[in-house]
Amino acid sequence: MSAFLGLSPFTWCVLAILGFSFFGLPIGLSMLGASVFYLLISGQDVGIAAEQILNGLTNSYTLLAIPLFILASELMNLGSLSDKLLSWCNALVGRFRGGMGHVNVVSSLIFSGMSGSAVADVVGVGKLTMDMMTKDGRYTKAYAGAITAATAVIGPIIPPSIPLVLYALISDTSIGYLFAAGVVPGLVMTVVMMGLNAYLAHKRNFPVEPAIPMREFLPLTVKAMPALMMPVVLLGGIYSGIMTPTEAAAVAALYTLVISVVLYRSVTPSGMYNSLLNSGRQMTTIGLLIAGAMVFNYVVAKEEIPKDVQTWLAGFQLSKDGFLLLVNITLLILGCLLEGGTILLVIVPIFIPAAQALGIDMVHFGLVVTINLMIGLITPPYGLLLFIVASMSKQPLGPLIKETLPWVFVLVAALMVMTYVPETVLWLPKLLGYKG
């Protein structure tokens, strides 16, 4: 049936996704069901759906990194690593005006070097930092929630990063070089957010925290050192060639378990069970999304949608800069409406052939895409981190969104720098041997 009721099979596929989603079906199942429907009405073997999923999952060693990074972040929340890191960050930057805001930013930076997930970052240290900021009314709940949501955006930029693993899957790009490319952008985002916090702290006369004596800083550093060393172990293993990124994910999970059980002695059997259970639930959600995207991407390829998009874009005769601006605007708008994983697995593959045709570096493009998607986590009306923080802080969305807008602005400004000054992204990978 080349046309069913006057509509093409692909049109029916898209309508089916929208229909299933409207009735509350998860987006992964929606894509999977709609793709099977496409195969039926286009006269193809529905077994192709299973073939695409099995081939995609069994041939991708890279995907094993995702459940392992999720487990590592769950174990970090289970242990007392978060407490040790926060105490150290407070001793380091808490003495300045708006110091607890700086602690929020720096703790997110360090925690991002272990979790690879914005949600894990916000759940791991977010509740603790918000409680510290709002104690005795020193900061409003809306400001504490806004900065907590915004700083969590750093999580998937600084390696390790689950979104970058997924991008490597769809673009056939080196995970190691993608991880290296995230370091400088993550630091740039940290600097601009600390700058905004400092500006707002002076403008609103936020309190200055009591300075922790330097004689206490060394003991706090010693206590936090096992947690601080995890990114060093992780990235050192990858870039020295000792471990692949997937093996590094396994080492991260094991390392976190060992220091939580042996050193900090903060793991109970019930806590360990819950961590494994939560990790399984999160991976099930991600795995379902990946499976649905694999089958839907077959439909997209079969309909030659990327080729059509490339031809359409060629009609505008866009330069590299013009194309990147179009991608940024598109992804920022979609980020307000869709979940980041869906955009990454469904929309981004359509842009990749056009980016390659224009000679855009795939590592650079991957970081630009990922930063866009992370900003989408804090943009209304459907920013996932906004809902999580609102729930954690018992704060209405309205004031939270208002306080978040300045953070969105500075992050978009940082995104523009990373987009149009590629060396901010590619400098470290090239230093490590990336040829482009």
Q: What is the pLDDT of residues 215-236, one digit of tens each?
A: 777 888 888 787 778 777 777 8
The two structure tokens encoding residue 412:
């978009």
Radius of gyration of the chain (CA): 22
In this model, does residue 269 exceed pLDDT 60?
A: yes
Encode pLDDT of 91-132 as tens digits. Answer: 777 677 778 888 888 888 887 777 667 777 777 677 777 877
DSSP sequence for 295-320: HHHHHHHHTTHHHHHHHHHHTTT--H
Angle formed by the axes of helices 362-375 and 348-357, to 10°?
150
The predicted pLDDT at position 1 comes to: 52
Q: For residue 12, how far is the Cα from the chain centroid?
A: 31
Rounded average pLDDT over 338-344: 83
Cα 102–388–98 angle (5° rounding)?
Answer: 15
CB atoms within 10 A of CB 311: 11
Q: Which of 132, 118, 208 is nearest to 411 (CA)?
A: 118
The two structure tokens encoding residue 361:
């570096």
In this model, does residue 342 exceed pLDDT 70?
A: yes
Helix (H, G, I), strand (E, B) or coil at 140: coil
Residue 194 and residue 394: Cα distance in Å, rounded?
A: 25
Residue 366 and residue 370: Cα distance in Å, rounded?
A: 6
Alpha-carbon distances, residue 160 vs 252, 283, 429 (angstroms)? 10, 16, 15
The two structure tokens encoding residue 259:
């220091």
For residues 157 and 371, the answer to whether their CB atoms sit within 8 Å is: yes
The predicted pLDDT at position 415 comes to: 96
In this model, does residue 135 exceed pLDDT 70?
A: yes
Q: Which of 154, 124, 116 is nearest to 230 (CA)?
A: 116
Cα 391–406–368 angle (5° rounding)?
Answer: 90
Helix (H, G, I), strand (E, B) or coil at 97: strand
CB atoms within 10 A of CB 385: 27
Residue 32 and residue 290: Cα distance in Å, rounded?
A: 10
- pLDDT band of residue 167 (cuts 50, 70, 90) is very high
Residue 232 and residue 213: Cα distance in Å, rounded?
A: 27
Alpha-carbon distances, residue 245 vs 115, 119, 422 (angstroms)? 14, 21, 24
Mean pLDDT of the chain: 84
Q: What letter would DSSP give residue 25?
A: -
Note the maximum CA span of the chain. Answer: 77
Residue 429 and residue 183: Cα distance in Å, rounded?
A: 10
CB atoms within 10 A of CB 97: 16
Residue 264 and residue 273: Cα distance in Å, rounded?
A: 18
Rounded average pLDDT over 408-414: 96
In this model, does residue 59 exceed pLDDT 70?
A: no
The two structure tokens encoding residue 25:
């079906």
Rounded average pLDDT over 350-359: 91
In this model, does residue 206 exceed pLDDT 90?
A: no
For residues 154 and 192, the answer to whether their CB atoms sit within 8 Å is: no
Angle formed by the axes of helices 397-420 and 423-431, to 10°?
60
pTM of the model: 0.83
